[in-house]
Amino acid sequence: MAKSYIVGNWKMNQNRHELNEFFGHLEKEELNPGNFWIAPQFIHIQTCIEKTNKVPLKIGAQNCSDQTSGAFTGEISPSSLADIEAHFVILGHSERRALFNESNELINSKVKAVMGNKLVPILCVGETLEQRESNETMNVVLDQVTKGLQGVKLGAEDDIIIAYEPVWAIGTGKTASPEQAEEVHAGIREKLKELYPECGENISILYGGSVKPNNIDDLIKQPNINGGLVGGASLKAEDFMALCRAIN
Ligand code: PGA
């Protein structure tokens, strides 16, 4: 069976004071262990990792370079992330694709670089509203999955996570209905089984896009939705804990 996760994507939010409060709350309320991950801004990764001796979370990044070292001013190396014991990297988020022109080819190169450094990539895919309205959802999403995984070999199902995030549902308060999301997740599952006959059945596929404590239960009831990649609701400790409790 695919494992269930809650992954918080803090984006460019949460200052030091706010993250101290967040972790303080989780410690006080005694979050039970589970597959609960947080991606803060790069500058806070080390601080958050230090806090995981008291709170059962894994910490990762929201992006990284596809290069390991060298003259790439301003970039962050996946090997440096591995060096400070980060656990995972979110790749190909729709904000990276749209605002920073990340192509499927670059994202594929990042997936390989991240796995080469023994970090877990979370490969994000999803269609825009325009693509959904012109019935291109499945084509776009499966193309992103196929190109993102081109030449990627997996040793086990836990080596990678896929996140389906319809662009029109991110930060808008509009969640895909559980049925709409499941239709795409089931299509991704078929593609994963085709690409990875040994483990495609058990690769976790997370849903993202306005996931909240009040809609998580219906989403995770779907057979191919294995948890959430959560933006807004992961910033508030109470909401994040409610999401974690829902999947435990
Ligand atoms: P949201 O963001 O939960 O605020 O919609 C999700 C994401 O971008 O990963």
**Residue nearest ligand 1's atom 6 by CA:** 231
What is the mean pLDDT of the segment spanning 115-144?
A: 97
Q: What is the pLDDT of residue 175?
A: 85
Nearest in space to 91 (alpha carbons), one of 80, 78, 79, 82? 78
Instruction: Report the alpha-carbon distance of residue 169 to residue 109 in Å, rounded.
Output: 27
Instruction: Report the alpha-carbon distance of residue 61 to residue 40 in Å, rounded.
Output: 7
Q: Buried b vs exposed e over 175-192: b needs ≥16 C-beta within 10 Å?
A: bbebeebbebbebbbebb
What is the mean pLDDT of the segment spanning 178-204?
A: 98
Q: What is the pLDDT of residue 248?
A: 86
Look at the chain and report how many structural domains it folds into. 1
Q: Buried b vs exposed e over 42-70: b needs ≥16 C-beta within 10 Å?
A: eebbeebbebeeebebbbbbbbbbbeeee
Q: Which of 93, 127, 157, 182 is catalytic?
A: 93
Ligand 1 atom with the smallest distance to the CA of 229 is 9
What is the mean pLDDT of the segment spanning 97-112?
A: 98
Q: Indicate if ligand 1 lies below 6 Å from the C-beta of 232.
A: yes
Q: Buried b vs exposed e over 210-225: b needs ≥16 C-beta within 10 Å?
A: bbbbebbeebbebebb
Query: Is the per-residue pLDDT at 149 higher than 90?
Result: yes
CA 216 to centroid of chain Cα atoms: 16
What is the Å distance from ligand 1's center to 209 Cα? 5
Q: What is the pLDDT of residue 178?
A: 96
Asked about 185 being catalytic, the answer comes back as: no
What is the mean pLDDT of the segment spanning 205-216?
A: 97
What is the Å distance from ligand 1's center to 212 Cα? 10
Q: The domain containing residue 187 runs over which residues?
A: 5-247
Cα distances from 123 to residues 68, 171, 217, 246, 248, in angstroms, run: 19, 19, 23, 23, 23
Ligand 1 atom with the smallest distance to the CA of 232 is 4
Ligand 1 atom with the smallest distance to the CA of 230 is 3
**Cβ contact 247:207 at 8 Å:** no
Ligand 1 atom with the smallest distance to the CA of 170 is 5
Q: What is the pLDDT of residue 173?
A: 85
Q: Indicate if ligand 1 lies below 6 Å from the C-beta of 246.
A: no
Q: Indicate if ligand 1 lies below 6 Å from the C-beta of 210.
A: yes
pLDDT tens for each residue of 62-96: 999 999 999 999 999 999 999 999 999 999 999 99
CATH assignment of the domain containing 144:
3.20.20.70
Confidence of residue 171 (pLDDT cuts 50, 70, 90): confident
Tell which one of 210, 214, 216, 239 to mutate to probe ligand 1, the residue whose CB is within 8 A of the most ligand atoms. 210
| Beta-strand pair 58-59/88-91 | unpaired
pLDDT tens for each residue of 28-71: 999 999 999 999 999 999 999 999 999 999 999 999 999 999 99
Q: What is the pLDDT of residue 105?
A: 98
Asked about 93 being catalytic, the answer comes back as: yes
Instruction: Report the alpha-carbon distance of residue 122 to residue 205 in Å, rounded.
Output: 9
